[in-house]
Structure 1
Amino acid sequence: MQKLNLALAAILVVSLVSHTMEAKAQLNQYLISKIESFHLFVDSLKILASSPGKKFTLPNRGRPSRLSSTGRRGRCSDLKEPFIALIPHFLEQTQDENVVSALGKTAQSEPVFWFYVPKLPQDVRKLEFRLLNENKEAQKYILNLTDTPGIVGFRPSLHQKLKLNQQYHFTASIIYCDSDISKNPTVDSWVERVTLGDSLENQLRGATAEKRIELYSKNGIWHETLTLLVEKHQENPNNPMINDQLVSLLKDAGFENIANKTNIKYYILSTQNN
């Protein structure tokens, strides 16, 4: 009888230890999930605090641009949506018509350029980008498109860096027709490298990513604002605050149709010089 009691006691102890370990593991998992949720909440508060409802400052001047591939004659593509260059823009009224005027400002000598690429056929996967200086000398790049539709960015390794206070014309084409490139879906616009000024430089120095986004947005520095936001989105893809900021930025820049799309993808491509 004594042996039976000892055996039962041993079984009870093992059962208690097992249940205790299981409960401890469950508690640890619960605490980890709560800590992750807390960090996500803190990140959201940081972003909210750094975004006091101020819209992106549009440029007060621009250059005639073709930001959308729609309306081109003789196209050889069958895109369901337009290919779009993501550059802040506004309408300028001329004697005959309203003209889309656009200009992307950057402080960098090699900024990231952004486009909305619609769903493409499986056999269409290349994009050609050309950057022209004031002498119309072109630097050409070929990009391999990996996943569409989505918002695509890339930072070209320029042979000639952007010079301060100069505007550069750029074009981008999705390569459908090798035989007649004029029929490819094409967009074009302008970029200018600007001087930030001592005050803004001092504010940016040592600032958090959230604060830098706020400062760039307030001062109309488009390329850095969008790039930093996309990088934050990639770090925290489930953060609704960051997603809301991206939506607001795209709307401020005049791209409501894109901003209203759900589950949109953002990615940065590598380039091949040509």
Structure 2
Amino acid sequence: MLDKILINKAFAAICLTSLLAFSWAVPQQVMASEDQPREGLPGRRIGGGTRGECFSTVGRLMALVPETNLGFTKKAYPNFLFYLPQTSAPAMVEFVLQDESRHSVYETTFTKTNSGGVINFSLPGSTSLPPLAIGKKYNWYVSMICDPENRANDIVVNGWIQRVELDSNLTKKLEQTSPFERVNLYAKAGLWHDALATLAELRTTQPNDFRLAANWTQLLKSEKLDAIAQEPFLNIKIQQSPELSIK
């Protein structure tokens, strides 16, 4: 029995030491740009203290973006991940995507339940919503709305995203690998949004996989977001609100 325990511990140690080494290098295609920021962009990854009757003191709103506030993607319609804290009552949440001129590209609202957790939201691909332009930066916001009549009490986080073009070699590798191996390729290429979303999708479909859970924690820890590593994923269908518009 002791030998079995020691073997299990050794196996766990091997798994932990063989986690993906997430290092967020800027993609080569972006490094060549004179506009590439060297010290990140202004943003707010973590929301302020909760306030208002509909909020509890459990957790804080978080945008899952790198410390630079800028994440890269190869996707025309990428995923955005954020953490919604537990609330004492259902609350409205607003997602807004803007271009560099602060023009609204996409907006939607949805209602969260009392529960807290991680949202993996995919920008919907449709004829009315153009794909993200390669090389351009977009600012995205998530707001928790306690009082729709007084938006000054919103709790808001925001980050930036930029779509980059991949070289043919990396594109071919991505097409030939499994989703788990793809996470590592995304990470090495500096594609934060794609690595995070792919790993989140794997964790949702395989919630009891130790390896995926450990890699999820390591990935978040690489950008000091591991405070919510043990939080569940919320299955909320986000649809375009009729009162908001896609431009």
Q: CA deviation at 1:256?
A: 2.8
Report the equivalent of 1:215.
185
Letter aligned with residue 127 of structure 1: V
Displacement, 1:182?
A: 2.2
Correspondence 1:1-274 to 2 at 5 A: 53-57=20-24, 59=26, 61-70=39-48, 75-76=51-52, 78-80=55-57, 81-89=59-67, 101-124=68-91, 126-138=92-104, 139-146=106-113, 148-157=115-124, 159-259=129-229, 261=230, 264-273=231-240, 274=244
Distance in 2 (CA, whole Å) between partners of 1:248 and 1:52 is 7
- Tell me how far apart the structure 2 counterparts of residues 210 and 256 of structure 1 sit (CA, whole Å): 20
User: Which amino acid in structure 2 is aligned with residue 148 of structure 1?
Assistant: S
8 Å contact 1:155–1:270 — kept in the other structure? no
In the alignment, the residues of structure 2 paired with residue 140 and residue 120 of structure 1 have an alpha-carbon distance, to the nearest angstrom, of 23
SS at match of 2:133: coil
Superposed displacement of residue 227, structure 1: 1.3
- Runs (5+) with no aligned partner, structure 1: 1-43, 90-100
TM-score normalised over the length of structure 1:
0.70
Q: Is the 8 A contact 2:19 2:218 kept in 1?
A: no
**What CA distance in whole angstroms lies between the structure 2 residues aligned with 1:270 and 1:133?**
24
Q: CA deviation at 1:254?
A: 1.6
Cα 1:268–1:200 change in 2 (3 A) is: farther
Q: Find the residue that maps to 1:241 and give its secondary structure.
A: helix
Bigger fraction of residues in helix: 1
Paired with 1:164 and 1:79, the residues of 2 have a C-alpha distance of 40
Q: CA deviation at 1:268?
A: 4.9
- Per-residue deviation, residues 115-161 of structure 1 (Å, max 9, x unmatched): 1111012232x210110012321121112324621111111326232
CA contact (8 A) 2:62 2:84 kept: yes
| Kept after mapping to 2: 8 A contact 1:204/1:215 | yes
* Partners of 2:114 and 2:212 in 1: CA distance: 22
Contact 1:76–1:184 (Cα < 8 Å) also in 2: no
The CA deviation at 1:218 is 1.2
Percent identity reads 25
Gaps of 5+ in 2: 1-10, 27-37
Which one has the largest radius of gyration?
1
Q: CA shift at 1:231, angstroms?
A: 1.6
Secondary structure class of the residue paired with 2:239 = strand
**Using the alignment, how far apart are the partners of 1:269 and 1:108 within structure 2?**
22
